[in-house]
Amino acid sequence: MKLAPLFVLLVAAVVATGCGGKKGFEKPGFAFGCPIGDAKIGSMDDLVKAKVAKEGKSAPDVEIEEVRCTTTGDLLKVDIVVFNDESDVERLLYKFRWADAEGMRAADEESWKPVLLYGNSRQTITTVAPNSKARDFKFIVMGQQ
């Protein structure tokens, strides 16, 4: 009879220990599947700030909502959701800059690719790393007049 409360306490301790671990399935050095190195990424906004750079004189008036990554075989696959919250059509150019595990350039510089975003619309830009050496990336976006 005295074993029942002890058993309940033991089960509660095991459950509490199991729930106290790190949440999610992320590997160390990754956030939302994307490589982050030693950066402290606590939210999607932090990841967007770390992975997106705006260039040029006319920054596009769009919001980068999500950056998600996965690996397909030994290649990094990246999805980026771009949102135009204005009613006007927004033209922008983008490219990816790929880096190897040491932070050095892993592929030749990409050419700019155009995107036309209608008002109040979203578009997912998907790409796959050009080679297996590419372990990290930066998404570069620029407004187009």
Dist. CA 57–CA 125, nearest whole Å:
23
Please list, in sequence order, all residues whose beta carbon lies within 8 angstroms of the beta carbon of residue 28, skipping any fewer than 6 positions away: none
Give the domain extent around 113.
Answer: 39-143
Give the pLDDT confidence score for residue 59 in this predicted structure: 77
- Does a structural domain hold residue 32? no
Give the pLDDT confidence score for residue 22 in this predicted structure: 46
Tokens for 27, please give them: 């590997």
Tokens for 113, please give them: 């690719």
Q: Which uninterrupted H or E stretch holds 10?
A: helix 3-19
Give the pLDDT confidence score for residue 132 in this predicted structure: 97
Tell me whether residue 15 is exposed, middle or buried, using C-beta atoms within 10 angstroms of its C-beta: 0 to 12, 13 to 18, 19 or more. exposed
CB hemisphere CA count around 25 (13 angstroms): 2
Q: What is the CATH number of the domain that holds 111?
A: 2.60.40.3230
- Does a structural domain hold residue 34? no
Mean pLDDT (10-residue bins), the chain, 145 residues: 60 53 68 91 95 88 95 96 95 96 94 96 97 97 88
- Does a structural domain hold residue 5? no
